[in-house]
Amino acid sequence: MNTETMQLLSALLALFAAGGTLVLLVARLSAGRSPSAANFVLAFRPVALPLAFMVAGFAMFASLWFSEAANYNPCKLCWYQRIAMYSLAIVSGVALVKRWRAARRSATGDDVFASQREITPYAIVLAALGSVVSTYHFLLEWNPTWESNVCSLDVPCTTIWFREFGFVTLPFMALCGYVSIIILLSTTYRSRHEH
């Protein structure tokens, strides 16, 4: 796969993940007033963890591909984002394996989601921290004068390797991934309207 194709594919996947999870967020927020929205959230709950794992896993793969195959050297802020995303891939992967094992042992579906509920607070904190760094990095790309002593001179944080659709950059894609993971894993919690 060439670099331009990977850039476009990654940008489209980031926008698709963000758009899809925003639909889920709207359904989650309106679940108390709309039975169809509540049913949508309930139906989505079993695939939330696998999708969160896929988002984190692809983000991890893409970041490695861009640095190793396309030779886009990551800056310090990119490394901080990677630390959070790689951790999310590992944590969600372990929870997914635990869920599959629990599903084989248990006849009730409630125990199956225990591992997902256990990791959700930690994963949401990791994703929130990554979101803060990604947001700052994205804003820094648009306002290079904000750069402080955070990044080095050889790989400044204001370096923009590509900008798809006029606004989708690597930090923006990471932000889409973090927001998607937060929204996906938030479906784990039952609202007071659910029984």
Residues β-bridged to residue 168: 164
What's the pLDDT at 132?
97
Q: For residue 131, tell me if it sits in a domain.
A: yes
What's the pLDDT at 154?
74
Query: What tokens appear for 22 in the block?
Result: 């925003």
Indicate the pLDDT class of residue 110, thresholds 50, 70 and 90: low
Q: What tens digit of pLDDT does each residue of 120-129 get?
A: 889 999 999 9
Q: For residue 12, tell me if it sits in a domain.
A: yes
Q: For residue 68, tell me if it sits in a domain.
A: yes
- The residue-averaged pLDDT of 8-29 equals 94
Indicate the pLDDT class of residue 103, thresholds 50, 70 and 90: confident
pTM of this structure: 0.89
Q: For residue 193, tell me if it sits in a domain.
A: no
- The residue-averaged pLDDT of 102-124 equals 73
For residue 4, pLDDT over 70 is answered with yes
More confident residue, 112 or 45: 45
What's the pLDDT at 127?
97
C-beta separation of 51 from 22 below 8 A: no
Q: How far apart are alpha carbons 157 and 77 in whole angstroms?
A: 7
Q: By three-state DSSP, how is residue 164 classified? A: strand
What's the pLDDT at 1?
81
Q: For residue 195, tell me if it sits in a domain.
A: no
- The residue-averaged pLDDT of 135-152 equals 82
Q: What tens digit of pLDDT does each residue of 20-76 get?
A: 999 999 998 998 899 999 899 888 888 999 999 999 999 999 999 999 999 999 999
Q: For residue 126, tell me if it sits in a domain.
A: yes
- The residue-averaged pLDDT of 69-91 equals 94
What's the pLDDT at 72?
94
Residue with token string 């409630």? 110
Q: For residue 78, tell me if it sits in a domain.
A: yes
Indicate the pLDDT class of residue 108, thresholds 50, 70 and 90: low
- Domain extent for 37: 3-186
Q: For residue 113, tell me if it sits in a domain.
A: yes
DSSP assignment, residue 190? P
Which distant-in-sequence residues (6+ apart) come within 8 Å of 56 by Cβ?
85, 86, 88, 89, 92, 177, 181
**Long-range own/partner contacts, residues 21-27 (CB < 8 A, 24 or more apart):** 21/179, 21/180, 21/183, 21/184, 22/183, 24/183, 24/184, 24/187, 25/183, 25/186
Number of domains composing the chain: 1
